[in-house]
Amino acid sequence: MVNGKKLVVSASPHLRTKTTTTKIMLDVIIALIPALVASVIFFGPKTLLVTAVTVATAVLSEYIARKVMKRHNTIGDLSAVVTGLILALNLPVNVPLWIAAIGSVVAIIVVKQFFGGIGQNFANPAITARIVLLLSFATHMSGSEWVAPLSWLGKADAVTTATPLALYGKEGAVIPTLFDMFIGNRAGSLGETCTVALLIGGIYLIARKVISFKIPVAYLGSFALIMLIAGFVKEDSVGAALEYTAYQLMSGGLMLGAFFMATDYSTSPINTDGKYIFGVGCGIITALIRLFGSLPEGVSFAILIMNLLVPHIEKITTPKPFGTPKKEKKAKEADAK
């Protein structure tokens, strides 16, 4: 009974979902709030300033780009806010604010709007922006610039330290305990340190069906498996290998990347098989960069490389519609022609 009429004849679709882009993006923002709160606790109120700059610049860039290109405005779908937020969580706390702003401009204008806006970008804007910043301003983005957690409470302006990934395996280095790693009491980018907050956010997104569990599980699973083997080769005992794997899983930007960046709709495959291939690929590349690469961290590069492979993954995982002839038959028919 629609509008009091018994029979309504209309063209499909008949079933409509109430989900909109704005609602999905709002869910992602909600899921990122625990990580943001944790980073304010560990790295101080400057976190909020960095976040405000990236989000404001991202929204402004989106508005200006759409206006200049004479397209309808899309700042209402909140995707620019999410990009700005994720980018902020990828930056160190003492990053100069103008660098954070450049990151947002690169993410929104170069990576997203030049390719047609939301849904059209071939690579994750926040990841690409992070890599551009890393290659452009190496001293500000990594190296000895990491601020020790909770140092904002003390008298000194900032105490710098190295990240656990850079410390691990060095003689005499004091690395955080596994518990510290879990709650986020370690050096690193703003949003990547607190494993528990990221897990809460990730599980919220999976429970709300915003993201599927397939990519994070394939990513983390394949990564853990390789690290377990590597740990066993290195330490020669199962216990030490497990500890090594746990450290590796909770360090760097792995959790943030696996739940929030690898699962980006427009830059990850649609099919189940494709999602598993994508996740496993990310896991393998991350592990290879961490084990053999010259950089300590490889999550962003792994996700970017797999982003570029997505069209090919889609091609090989396209399901065959029921009843269509087999491939060889098609080729033979073409030959006969």
Partner 1 sequence: MAEKKSLGKEFRKGLIAENPVLRLVLGTCPTLATSTSVANALGMGIAATLVLICSNIVISLLRKVIPSKVRIPAYIVIIASFVTIVQMIVKAFVPALDESLGVFLPLIVVNCIILGRAEAFAGKNPVIASAVDGLGMGVGFTMALCCMGAVREILGAGTFLAGIKDLLAVFGDFSFNGFTIIPEGGAISPMLIFILAPGGFFTFGILMACANKLAEKKGKPRAELGGCQACPMAKNCALLADGKDCSEEKEDKAV
Q: Using CB under 8 A, list all residues that contact partner 1.
A: 96, 98, 102, 110, 114, 132, 135-138, 140, 334
DSSP assignment of 220-266, as one string? Answer: HHHHHHHHHHHHHHHH-SHHHHHHHHHHHHHSTTHHHIIIIITT-GG
Smaller CB separation from partner 1, 9 or 135: 135
Smaller CB separation from partner 1, 56 or 99: 99
Minimum CB separation of residue 302 from partner 1 in Å reads 17
**Is residue 278 within 8 Å of residue 218, measured between CB atoms?**
yes
Distance CA 169, CA 65 (A): 46
Distance CA 75, CA 135 (A): 29
Smaller CB separation from partner 1, 1 or 135: 135
Smaller CB separation from partner 1, 137 or 213: 137
Distance CA 124, CA 111 (A): 8
Nearest of 304, 258, 255, 260 to residue 87 by alpha carbon: 260
Minimum CB separation of residue 300 from partner 1 in Å reads 14
Minimum CB separation of residue 320 from partner 1 in Å reads 20
Smaller CB separation from partner 1, 49 or 284: 49
Smaller CB separation from partner 1, 46 or 130: 130
**Is residue 215 within 8 Å of residue 263, measured between CB atoms?**
yes
Minimum CB separation of residue 58 from partner 1 in Å reads 18
Nearest of 130, 123, 115, 134 to residue 262 by alpha carbon: 123
Smaller CB separation from partner 1, 52 or 132: 132
Distant-in-sequence, close-in-space partners of 10: CB < 8 Å, separation ≥ 6 = none
Minimum CB separation of residue 98 from partner 1 in Å reads 6
Distance CA 149, CA 130 (A): 21
Minimum CB separation of residue 10 from partner 1 in Å reads 37
Distance CA 55, CA 330 (A): 51
Minimum CB separation of residue 22 from partner 1 in Å reads 30
Smaller CB separation from partner 1, 114 or 265: 114
Minimum CB separation of residue 65 from partner 1 in Å reads 13
DSSP assignment of 145-158, as one string? Answer: GPBPTTGGGSSSS-
Percent helix, strand and coil across the chain, each rounded to 5?
Answer: 65, 0, 35
Half-sphere exposure (Cβ direction) of 121: Cα atoms closer than 13 Å: 25
